[in-house]
């Protein structure tokens, strides 16, 4: 099955339809809803990266908030220290590069261990980054964080433009394109020989090694790729949020990343995307509802794990498969 066959599959048309729909959103949605959607989309890019590790490599990271923070803070620091280079064409590569460096370091430390230790080592590393972000306030702005100015995009300056105008205008389309590109690239990765290799490591480490696959090395590659996507999400998010603070590196946010992936269902490729976008809306409404936000996600997380581990997208797929399989139960 090549590219041509993929183009004819119904899925492709659904994707295309959604893409076109998204393009019209600025006309349809009021600005604060649009910003919420944009937040959700940046989280979706991040979740794609997270799920490469979870679903396809079998590694559960409780520290991905740190990688998100790296992307976001690299934008902030570029704005602080290199304002003459504050253009999105430079900012994104810089964010990717910073993510690459940090993921390589984190990944190198974490992948040498069993899967259980991996999870908590990732958490510990993210706490270290969080501590650094807070304590080195001279460089990072400490707990106040860094304000994110509007960047130049493709030669045009947005100084003096209000953020909501920027976000509902050119930036939105840039974001959608980045999102579409990320999804397509990730689709390619997970279906490629590399993706199959990761899955074999997830399924059966011993056997994978017997086939001549170096486990640690490929886990590291997966971690780095994951970090790149997550950092990209963080960078794109920084413009929407307008401000970056150390909290995004803390364990709570890392937990939310895990949660949104599970909510959408990590067994299905599109699951994390759905989960991320859904989560942004859920969080907004829940937080205005109760101050016990962590209790809520804790309880729903446990419920999800116990009852619906496939998440929403997974459950949907299961339902669809079940319906397809049951022929009309006509005459007995």
- Return the residues of window 29-68 that contact other proteins according to CB under 8 A: 54, 58, 60, 62
Given the structure tokens 């790296």, which residue do they identify? 70
Within a 10 A sphere around the Cβ of 230, how many other Cβ atoms?
Answer: 31
CB nearer to other proteins: pick between 293 and 316: 293
Given the structure tokens 């992307």, which residue do they identify? 71
Q: Which of residues 101-120 bind other proteins (CB under 8 A)?
A: 109, 112-113, 115-117, 119-120
* The token pair that represents 247 in the structure block: 């909290």
CB nearer to other proteins: pick between 80 and 209: 209
The size of the interface with other proteins (CB under 8 A), counted in residues, is 71
Let me know: does 213 contact 303? Beta carbons within 8 Å: no
DSSP string for residues in 76-102: HHHHHH-GGG-BHHHHHHHHHHHHHHH
**How is the chain split among helix, strand and coil, in percent rounded to 5?**
80, 0, 20
Q: Which of residues 246-285 bind other proteins (CB under 8 A)?
A: 251, 255, 258, 262
CB nearer to other proteins: pick between 19 and 194: 194
Q: Across 160-264, where does the E strand assignment appear?
A: 243-244
Pairwise CA distance, residues 184 & 15, whole Å = 10
Q: Which of residues 66-105 bind other proteins (CB under 8 A)?
A: none
Q: Which stretch binds other proteins (CB under 8 A): 75-83, 231-239, 296-304, 314-322?
A: 296-304
What is the Cβ-side half-sphere exposure of residue 322, based on CA atoms within 13 angstroms? Answer: 6
- The least CB distance from residue 288 to other proteins, in Å, is 16
CB nearer to other proteins: pick between 211 and 332: 211
CB nearer to other proteins: pick between 90 and 301: 301
Q: Which of residues 170-209 bind other proteins (CB under 8 A)?
A: 185, 188-189, 191-197, 199-200, 202-204, 206-209
Q: Is 294 in the site for other proteins (CB under 8 A)?
A: yes
């Amino acid at each position: 099955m090549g590219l041509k066959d993929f183009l004819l599959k119904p899925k492709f048309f659904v994707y295309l339809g959604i893409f076109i729909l998204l393009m019209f959103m600025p006309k349809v949605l009021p600005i604060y809803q649009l910003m919420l959607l944009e937040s959700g989309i940046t989280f979706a890019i991040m979740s794609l990266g997270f799920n490469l590790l979870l679903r396809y490599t079998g590694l559960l990271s409780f520290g991905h908030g740190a990688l998100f923070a790296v992307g976001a803070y690299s934008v902030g620091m570029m704005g602080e220290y290199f304002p003459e280079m504050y253009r999105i064409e430079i900012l994104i590569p810089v964010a990717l590069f910073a993510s690459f460096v940090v993921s390589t370091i984190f990944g190198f430390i974490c992948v040498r261990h069993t899967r259980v230790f991996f999870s908590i080592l990732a958490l510990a590393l993210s706490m270290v980054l969080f501590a650094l972000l807070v304590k080195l306030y001279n460089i990072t702005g400490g707990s106040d964080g860094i304000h994110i100015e509007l960047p130049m995009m493709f030669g045009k300056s947005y100084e003096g433009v209000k953020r909501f105008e920027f976000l509902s205008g050119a930036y939105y389309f840039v974001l959608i394109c980045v999102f579409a590109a990320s999804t397509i690239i990730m689709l390619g990765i997970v279906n490629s020989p590399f993706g199959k290799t990761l899955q074999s490591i997830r399924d059966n480490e011993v056997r994978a090694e017997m086939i001549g696959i170096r486990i640690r090395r490929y886990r590291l590659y997966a971690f780095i790729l994951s970090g790149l996507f997550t950092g990209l999400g963080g960078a794109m998010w920084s413009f929407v949020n307008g401000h970056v603070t150390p909290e995004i590196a803390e364990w709570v946010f890392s937990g939310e990343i895990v949660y949104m992936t599970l909510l959408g269902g990590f067994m299905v490729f599109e699951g994390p995307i759905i989960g991320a976008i859904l989560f942004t809306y859920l969080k907004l409404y829940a937080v205005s509802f109760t101050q016990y936000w962590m209790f809520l996600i804790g309880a729903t997380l446990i419920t999800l794990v116990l009852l619906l581990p496939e998440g929403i997208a997974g459950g949907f797929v299961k339902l669809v498969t079940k319906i397809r399989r049951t022929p009309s139960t006509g005459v007995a």
